[in-house]
Structure 1
Amino acid sequence: MIKVGIVGGTGYTGVELLRLLAGHPSARVTAVTSRKEAGMKVADLFPSLRGRIDLAFSTPDEARLQDCDVVFFATPNGIAMNEARELLAAGVRVVDLAADYRIQDVAEWEKWYGMSHGSPDLVAEAVYGLPEINREAIRGARLVANPGCYPTAVQLGFLPLIEAGAVELSSLIADCKSGVSGAGRKAEVGALLAEAGDSFKAYGVAGHRHLPEIRQGLGRAAAQPVGLTFVPHLTPMIRGIHATLYARLTADVDVQALFERRYEGEAFVDVLPAGSHPETRSVRGANVCRIAAHRPQGGDTVVVLSVIDNLVKGAAGQAVQNMNLMFGLPEQAGLGIVPLLP
């Protein structure tokens, strides 16, 4: 049984990790940290976990994280980079759900995240945890950088086209919408019901922190830099990301067949039949990305629709998927969850 520690167990990704791991056949949560809620029963803060998680929150110092086999950091940016080294030295594997190890260019990371990196030497070792492109590297990794939610939806949507050399790389467009849980579990005026409800807005048009991460991933697939316009939007829903992606074709390809071939055998990417329009509710609570590819009027523009649950395939579910790979478990272990409807 894999002993699991979670640093930062009171946020949305933390409680989602707890939900998924509570039903995992080969993993057991042995420590959950929170400085603010130390001593409180996890199930008292999250009643949905009553009878499933019989632990209290502890401070990081008290948690004996070095006794764990793997530790998930479900913390704000800037925490894992200062705490991962000690755990790695103790033989603990680490999965960081924040952005500390996602961007390989440390100077670029520091520019976008506004702080000095605490362990730049570990950045080169960190494996980017998108299993659909890095599965074998993840299996042998000590340190995994779990992808962001927008980057997961966008990269999975664009990858088949880029890998096939079928689109113009200088003018990719990602028009993305997210539920308010993507902002995290914190008091913030913009996420209040009276502020976000019955409204819809773009944000970060001049530049969003996920932009360099997406460009890095797509550039690796293309073996050259790509030009990407990325515009995120906030929608009045709790969970979900809908990415509408645009690219100009440079080859006359069967787009549907291309996507079906690329993701054949992938447990967590579902290519829908031609003409489909995936909905965010079709992935709610599940670790799956549903994709539909369109070529409107048979022209040279391809439109890809990619939907995920930002807290599952966009965060905690993908982290568990990575853990499964790191420990030689079936990739679907603990993740056979049917999406919630309605």
Structure 2
Amino acid sequence: VKEFALAGFSQKPSIEAGLFVLFLFFYVSTWIGNVFIMVTVASDNNLNSSPMYFLLGNLSFLDLCYSTVTTPKLLADLLDKNKLILYDQCIAQLFFLHFVGAAEMFLLTVMAYDRYVAICRPLHYTTIMSRGLCCVLVAASWMGGFVHSTVQTILTTRLPFCGPNQVDNFFCDVPPVIKLACADTFVIELLMVSNSGLISTSSFVVLISSYTIILVKIRSKEGRQKALSTCASHLMVVTLFFGPCIFIYAHPFSIFSVDKVVSVLYNVITPMLNPLIYTLRNKEVKSAMRKLWVCYYTVVQT
């Protein structure tokens, strides 16, 4: 097999045209929101010196990368009847999807640790979460994603593909691709489930456990409400990102029709919602964005 045919969503041009407009709106909104957050964090000294917002800027960059892995090809295919992708391009898409996705999982776990230190050890927060440690943790997240993705890609490329070549999704991912292999994939599926499924499930458990410990350690009612308010945005992001990933990768690779809808959620919609979730619930970010906008408007006027 030299190329794969992606199934897409519909064979009706009118429906695909409507989906093109919708997904283009999501993709443009993703770029505007995440770039705005990165520029705001980088330009504001107070935000840039805070470990929390340093990690938030890196999360926005990962969201941009994650959305860009699949969405441009999706938009092009919505205007193309064939929806073909070369074998090498399919493997590259699969690699970068898991590379960036796993890196984002690890980074979200790092952000949970950051909130734990900030709430449970506030006097030592700046000392523990130094810029050097934050850079190391971010680099470790990227490295963990690279190792995870390399394993997934090697296991996939070792399989023989001799037909059929119809990928039952709008992008190349491990579950639908290995279903097309001309070999018994039972052992490979178990290895991949234990890899992707274990990473997503264990990271999610660690995240929920960390927030539970935070709430248990805080005795006062007002303190718990403040901590819950602080962590609420992070919990929303974690739920939106990890929920679909666990659904896709933690169960045996039986393809359901609902998988496409779930894939849209964490590939297209979640990267767009992350900036809204963090900015709408964060006064410091909104204040910094207003200052940046006023500065930009003043420069334009002069």
TM-score, normalization by structure 2: 0.30
Kindly indicate whether structure 1 or structure 2 has the higher relative contact order, using CA contacts under 8 Å at least 6 residues apart. Answer: 2
Between Structure 1 and Structure 2, the one with more helix by share is: 2
Q: Larger Cα Rg: Structure 1 or Structure 2?
A: 2
Between Structure 1 and Structure 2, the one with more strand by share is: 1
